[in-house]
């Protein structure tokens, strides 16, 4: 698991929530933070099986110094990810219209 990877929770009360990987524990769990509910000083421990990796690492030159920086990065990532999904969906609809 890469430090700084953006992951999405697949199970639990925090399902579908975005996090950043900030560490790994000895028992194989990862430490994740979102800058709000789980700040950098109090990360959540989560099993890798319950996470989906969305991006391998942060943008070049990005620093995880503050909770606001992490939160802002995740918000921007989520917006870009949703826009990408909408674009793919529109392209799929265009292909289906051409076939009909």
pLDDT in tens, 19-55: 999 999 999 899 999 999 999 999 999 999 999 998 8
Domain ranges in the chain are 6-99
Report in angstroms the alpha-carbon separations of 87 from 60, 76, 96, 98, 100: 25, 17, 14, 17, 20
CB 5 within 8 A of CB 20: yes
Domain boundaries 6-99, corresponding CATH code: 2.30.30
- What are the tokens at 44? 């959540």
E-only strand ranges, 10-96: 18-24, 30-33, 44-46, 51-55
Q: Evaluate if pTM is beyond 0.85.
A: no
Rounded-to-integer distance, Cα 68 and Cα 75, Å: 10
């Amino acid at each position: 698991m890469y430090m700084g990877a953006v992951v999405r929770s697949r199970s639990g009360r925090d399902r579908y929530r975005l996090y950043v990987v900030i560490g790994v524990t000895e028992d194989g769990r990862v430490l994740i933070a979102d800058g709000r509910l789980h700040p950098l000083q109090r990360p959540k421990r989560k099993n890798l099986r319950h996470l989906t990796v969305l991006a391998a690492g942060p943008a070049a030159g990005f620093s995880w110094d503050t909770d606001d920086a992490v939160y802002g990065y995740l918000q921007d990532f989520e917006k870009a990810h949703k826009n990408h999904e909408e674009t793919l969906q529109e392209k799929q609809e265009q292909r289906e219209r051409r076939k009909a």
